A and B are shown apart, each in its own frame.
Chain A
Amino acid sequence: MNNPVTFEDLAALMKGRAGLAVDPWEMEHQPEAAFADYGLDSLGLLGIVSELENRYAVAIGNDPETCRTPHEFLELVNAQLTLGA
């Protein structure tokens, strides 16, 4: 079974794929903060979804790309990854 994607993982992806320095602790403790508040645009999120799909060899689908916040995103992504396991 896949380990769930953590806020640390997401922060590393935001850095690597979109060049954004985001504090994972802050992301975890501010559930209402949106990706846009961190400067992540839709292309940046698309790149993160692709990276996760490649990493886990699982199709995540299009829904995560429409997530507004990191919390919604991780919830959806981890549900998908668990399904695929």
Chain B
Amino acid sequence: MSQELDTAPASDTDQAKAPRIVVAPSPHLSEGSFTTRRMMLDVLVALSPPVAVSIWVFGWYAVVQLGICVISCLVAEAAFIAWRGRAFTLGDGSAAVTGVILALSLPWSTPWYVGFIASFVAIGIGKVVFGGLGQNLFNPAMVGRAFVMICFPAALGAAAYVLPGSPLSIVTQATPLTALKQGLVESSDVLSLLIGNTNGSLGETSAIACLLGGLYLCLRRTASWEIPAGTILSVAVISGAGYLISGSSFLHPLHHILGGALLFGAFFIATDPVSSPLTVKGKWFFGLGLGAIVMLLRLASGYPEGLMFAVLLMNAVTPLINRFTIPDPVGGPVPQRN
């Protein structure tokens, strides 16, 4: 809002000379440095630990996947912008962030065209058709991933992660959550879930890397800490209750929190400021609901992991959460007029 005030005198359009008075709601002061570009750079910095771990664990597979997705996203963004004749927005870094998150959410084995198509769907259907960055209802990277997940089930299903006899020993075993689905509970110890030397999507394997990047984002206030806190709390409560009731046949709550894409998604995907709620109360609802849907999908659906669908579902109810959690203005609610 304040930027509008700053730039108002400078913008000389048709009625330039007339004094222009901008009426805007508070707050009238805002941190000038808090721009889209800064936020996206923060996210890229925060994503560096998961990127580093993915390259350490999966080697060239991770490098190639990151390259494909980032370049495709940038090309898609440039193409769609040129087509619509809009201002050049590649510099804000949002397309690069979408590309990195998308790449880190794919299995190591994904063929090149899957990342390519996912990137174009993410930018095109996930963002541009809604009117560009800030208007999108859903997280673009997850829209792209959901599209290819349903399009090419063989390339993204549980079987895609495993390649028996591969020289890369990590990919010869099932992912921790698939192992749970098939009843092979004791497949991975908590230590390897923390460090990240397990099978899985590129960016999700290491809990420590996700926590490091996530905490940085929260400290920089680029991400709201309420969303990951709510998600982890809700998963911990549900899996803890399940563990207490049905005992060893249920995966330990630590496995549920550290395994799969939960931490990666809670810190990097769910906190997307565009598609998550605006109010503090709403962010708690968002996080709690996200964790609950993740647990529901992990336990009751045919998929081993449910983070992607959980994020998309919670994105869909975000406008509703915003509407129900409008905070009271200072001095009490606005009196109703008849």
Q: Do A and B come from one complex?
A: no
Residue positions of B touching A, CB distance < 8 A: none
